[in-house]
Amino acid sequence: MPRQCANECIFCFCKGNPADARPSLFIKDEDVRLSFLYGNYTTLTSITEDEMQRIIEQRLSPQYVSIHATDLTVRAYLLGVDEHRADIAPKLARLLDAGIEIHAQVVLCPGITTVRSCGKTINDLAAQYPRVTSVAIVPLGLTRYNTDARLTAVTPEFCGK
């Protein structure tokens, strides 16, 4: 069984599924093995020391990491966790220093992700190139089933900024 995600991300894709969707669409995995094997993104918020050591010792590279924001306040808000849990900077540095290649992901959420916070995130991750190999910047995806009032649909104007 894959490690389950304990975050409460406000934009979680599981919240966008209809209640009668197949059960596998509601599995929120946070498993570094699946990140290595299949490119599943993890947040590293609840990674254990044993898992960290396993990644480094077994060279489970690349890892796909949902960064979303390097501004700690913004990241914690997006993930629905406290700032202590949201702070992956030391974990990320440890993986990078061990030669683990990172593919990063940023989900843009209008009204939460600002031009400034997005720019900071891109600059912070670009500074780690080539150890951070790629940064996927994706717009928030909303369906009629995700009714979280904190989320605003992506517009062409927002993307243009």
- Asked whether the whole model's pTM tops 0.85, one would answer yes
Q: What is the pLDDT of residue 3?
A: 64
The Cα 105–Cα 71 span in angstroms is 14
Q: Which domain holds residue 81?
A: 13-160
In this structure, is residue 149 part of a structural domain?
yes
In this structure, is residue 93 part of a structural domain?
yes
State which H helix or E strand residue 33 sits in.
Answer: helix 32-38
Instruction: Domain count for the chain, please give it.
Output: 1
In this structure, is residue 2 part of a structural domain?
no
% the chain with pLDDT above 70: 92
Q: What is the pLDDT of residue 83?
A: 95
Q: What is the pLDDT of residue 110?
A: 94
In this structure, is residue 129 part of a structural domain?
yes
pLDDT band at 124 (very low <50, low <70, confident <90, very high): very high
In this structure, is residue 3 part of a structural domain?
no
The Cα 99–Cα 136 span in angstroms is 20
Report the pLDDT averaged over residues 52-59: 96
The CATH number covering residue 116 comes to: 3.20.20.70
